[in-house]
Amino acid sequence: MQAEELREFVIDKIDDLKGRDVQILDVHDKTDVVDYMIICSGSSKTHVRSIAEHVATEAKHAGTPPIGVEGGEQSEWVLVDLGDVVIHVMQDSIRDFYQLEKLWG
């Protein structure tokens, strides 16, 4: 999948499990590593883990397996790396603390 296609795919999969406050950051001009960062919130550790696992599983079924998934043990912040698109699924308190939107926006 192209980066834009993958971005839309991920947004759809986050929506499947009611991820909240989805932010899409186009960072292709700020880094050579990734084109888009997608940040969303989950309401609990279980919700955060479920969203991340759903995105990773569906991407694998669509032929784009994740390069890596980090943070699933604590599930306060789970990162799913799909190459051109990186997804950060976070609990509200962690998201407020790190403020990735300000860092990359």
Return the CATH number at 91.
3.30.460.10
Residues 6 or more apart from 58 whose CB is under 8 A from it?
Answer: 9, 13, 16
pLDDT at 1: 80
For residue 73, the model assigns a pLDDT of 86
Task: Tell me the CA distances in angstroms from 105 to 33, 38, 43, 83, 98, one per residue in order.
Answer: 16, 12, 23, 19, 13
pLDDT at 104: 82
Q: Which two tokens stand for residue 52?
A: 């991340």
Contact 82, 66 (CB under 8 A): yes
pLDDT for the residue numbered 103: 84
Residues of the chain predicted below pLDDT 50: none
Contact between residue 101 and residue 38 where contact means Cβ atoms under 8 Å apart: no
| Domain count within the chain | 1
| Domain that includes residue 71, residue range | 3-104
At 76 the three-state DSSP class reads coil
